[in-house]
Amino acid sequence: MITRRSMAGAAGAGVAVASLQARAEPGRRPLPKGFLWGTAISAHQSEGNNTNSDTWLLENLEPTVYKDRSGDACDSYHRYEADIALNAALGFNCYRFGIEWARIEPSPGRFSAAELDHYARILEACHAHGQTSIVTYNHFSAPRWFAERGGWEQADAADLFARYCGRTTERLGPLIGLATTFNEANVQLLVGLMGKSPARLEAERAMIAAARRATGSDRFSSLVYSDPAVSQPILLDAHRKGYQAMKAARPDLPVGISLTTQEIDPVGEGSLAEAMQAKLYGGWVELAKTHADFVGVQTYTRLRFDRNGPVPWPQGAEVTAAGYEFYPQALAATIRWAHQAIGKPIYVTENGIATDDDSRRIAFVEQALDGVRRCIDEGIPVHSYLYWSLLDNFEWSSGYGKHFGLVAVDLETFKRTPKPSAHYLGQRARLNLL
């Protein structure tokens, strides 16, 4: 088992506050009350033992593209109360987390009252610790039975998703602050933009073939590995129907859509940037105008295109541990894009960096927040800044080796150790200082 060491102790608090004062710049000022400062996490990446999900199956196959198995993850399924208390103690007022469809509906049409109660307890813990909750109904993983019947490549998937959204909101709706249907509904479109190596494509095909053999279903399909030409229209339909089901169960629940929103920059004459921008968002811009109360912006970097296709980052640019450019300025660009293209209230539901040098995380957050402040000064309604992620967690096929967290996690003892960046951002949250 891999063990992540804490990179800093609680003594980090003092350092962070000192650096906060040292770096105070003229434009920085407290925001009006009500801005949401917090962190985000997802069910599969932190709960552990999500054994009834498609992703669990894929991780445990031979061959698989997953470097590690999620296993116990951060054991947040059992330790949620401590996580929420930590989020609050750091200074945050908002906790974004995912509920797991595979647990709530373990077999088709059978909803688990016990699992719904479990998520109700998480929401009650949010209330007890003064946290506004933002709940993600689907963060990539789905029930194994759903994948076996063809996942997001079957037209009636939208109705099944809407049924889950409706039943869940009937039970949990009264306790939820805000909700989104999908996390990064356009994730496949981003992957399409960046392209995959032939070796990677072959490895994914072999894994899905193994899943079909293991389940005896030649239709097995999982979101990230599905054919976007088939699954994207069904996902759009699923969002539309899921949104309606959630509103029917609780009409005043703010329901949004979160999108992967990377800055797309042109390089040289005749750049493909504009076309790529359109490709990244597919049908989601139009749908968000009619079926979203807010847009969740999720930004990590920028992509550059010349007339022939993607071009690498500029020479000498800093590259994060996730293998893309360190470019915190992207957040302001994508907030402006979302405002101009969709015109709905904006929540930054994810922004973050993978790095083992926590001072770079502080620098990243600081620059990203400067961009948020400029956007607010321009009159753009931005209502939150949520850092991805509270915890170092299971980074999908990259496994446990990439550290996005404000808090390190020992994967054997599950001990949480806040890094200096946790105290830095928490202190800004506490002061409501943008």
Q: Which of 133, 180, 260, 355 touches ligand BGC by CB under 6 A? A: 260
CB of 152 to ligand BGC, least distance (A): 17
CB of 296 to ligand BGC, least distance (A): 10
Would you say 353 or 363 has its CB closer to ligand BGC? 353
CB of 352 to ligand BGC, least distance (A): 7
154 DSSP assignment: S
Which residues have CB under 8 Å from 119's CB, separation 6+? 99, 104, 172
Site residues (CB under 6 A) for ligand BGC, limited to 44-83 = 45
Would you say 13 or 185 has its CB closer to ligand BGC? 185
| 184 touching ligand BGC, by CB under 6 A | yes
Would you say 187 or 249 has its CB closer to ligand BGC? 187
CB of 177 to ligand BGC, least distance (A): 19
CA distance 114 to 204: 35
CA distance 161 to 73: 25
Would you say 222 or 260 has its CB closer to ligand BGC? 260
CA distance 175 to 16: 34
Site residues (CB under 6 A) for ligand BGC, limited to 230-249 = none
Contact between 42 and 136 under an 8 Å Cβ cutoff? The reply is yes
CA distance 349 to 384: 7
Would you say 93 or 299 has its CB closer to ligand BGC? 299
CB of 308 to ligand BGC, least distance (A): 26
Q: Is 135 helix (H, G, I), strand (E, B) or coil?
A: strand
Sheet holding 263-266, edge to edge: 263-266, 302-305, 310-311
User: What is the x/- site pattern for ligand BGC, positions 277-316, by CB under 6 A?
Assistant: ---------------------x------------------
CB of 387 to ligand BGC, least distance (A): 11
Closest CA to 214 of 279, 307, 140, 144: 144
User: What is the SS3 assignment for 344-410?
Assistant: CCEEEEEECCCCCCHHHHHHHHHHHHHHHHHHHHCCCCEEEEEEECCECCCCHHHHHHCCCCCEEEC
CB of 401 to ligand BGC, least distance (A): 12
CA distance 153 to 174: 32
Size of the site for ligand BGC (CB under 6 A): 10
Contact between 96 and 43 under an 8 Å Cβ cutoff? The reply is no
Site residues (CB under 6 A) for ligand BGC, limited to 89-128 = none
Q: Which of 70, 133, 141, 183 touches ligand BGC by CB under 6 A? A: 183
Residue with tokens 């805000």: 178
CB 244: neighbour CB atoms within 10 A? 15
Would you say 138 or 298 has its CB closer to ligand BGC? 298
Would you say 20 or 259 has its CB closer to ligand BGC? 259
Would you say 260 or 427 has its CB closer to ligand BGC? 260
CB of 60 to ligand BGC, least distance (A): 19
Site residues (CB under 6 A) for ligand BGC, limited to 371-400 = 388, 395
Which residues have CB under 8 Å from 317's CB, separation 6+? 325, 326, 327
Would you say 59 or 184 has its CB closer to ligand BGC? 184
Would you say 166 or 364 has its CB closer to ligand BGC? 364
Q: Which of 404, 418, 421, 434 touches ligand BGC by CB under 6 A? A: 404
Closest CA to 11 of 430, 422, 408, 403: 422
| 42 touching ligand BGC, by CB under 6 A | yes
Token pair of 39 as six digits: 């962190």
Site residues (CB under 6 A) for ligand BGC, limited to 312-351 = 350
Q: Is 299 helix (H, G, I), strand (E, B) or coil?
A: strand
| 141 touching ligand BGC, by CB under 6 A | no
| Residue 124: exposure state from Cβ atoms within 10 A (0-12, 13-18, ≥19) | middle
CB of 139 to ligand BGC, least distance (A): 6
Would you say 220 or 324 has its CB closer to ligand BGC? 324
Interface residues with ligand BGC (CB under 6 A)? 42, 45, 183-184, 260, 298, 350, 388, 395, 404
